Amino acid sequence: MHLIVDAWGTLRCLYTEEIDLSGFGCPVISRASTVEPDTDGRWWADMKPVNGPCLGPFPRRSEALQAEQEWLESNWLVSPSSRRRPDDSLPEQPH
């Protein structure tokens, strides 16, 4: 499991049950992708929730899950947007 902590102390990771994340505070968990079969029984990893591609088809679900994890770790987890402060999109407040 890769844990990424940015300069503001925000922790990002792909959720697994390897570590109890509640020890870091109250986790905010959201779906980054889906892995589903098509009508021919081939498996696809859909990365659209994080503006990624559809990966596949794969003959086995385990292969789609592996591709999903590799793509998320290489493209989403350490992307430039993951290093941006969470409130950067908010308008600047007057002092």
Q: Which of 5, 14, 18 minimizes the C-alpha distance to 76?
A: 14
User: Tell me, what's the pLDDT at 80?
Assistant: 52
39 in a structural domain? yes
Q: Is the residue at 31 inside a domain?
A: yes
Q: Does a structural domain hold residue 93? A: no
Number of domains in the chain: 1
- For 4-53, write each residue's pLDDT tens digit: 888 888 888 998 888 899 998 998 888 899 999 999 999 999 999 999 99
Q: Which comes out higher in pLDDT, residue 44 or 95?
A: 44
Residues spanned by the domain of 73:
4-83
The DSSP symbol for 72 reads I
The answer to whether residue 54 is domain-embedded is yes
pLDDT, one tens digit per residue, over 53-94 is 999 999 999 999 999 999 999 998 876 554 444 444 433 433
Residue 28 domain-assigned?
Answer: yes
What DSSP element (H or E) covers 67?
helix 61-71
Q: Is residue 59 part of a domain?
A: yes
- In this prediction, residue 79 carries a pLDDT of 64
The answer to whether position 35 is within a domain reads yes
| Residues paired with 37 in a beta bridge | 43
Is 95 inside a domain boundary?
A: no
pTM of the model: 0.73
DSSP state of 71: H
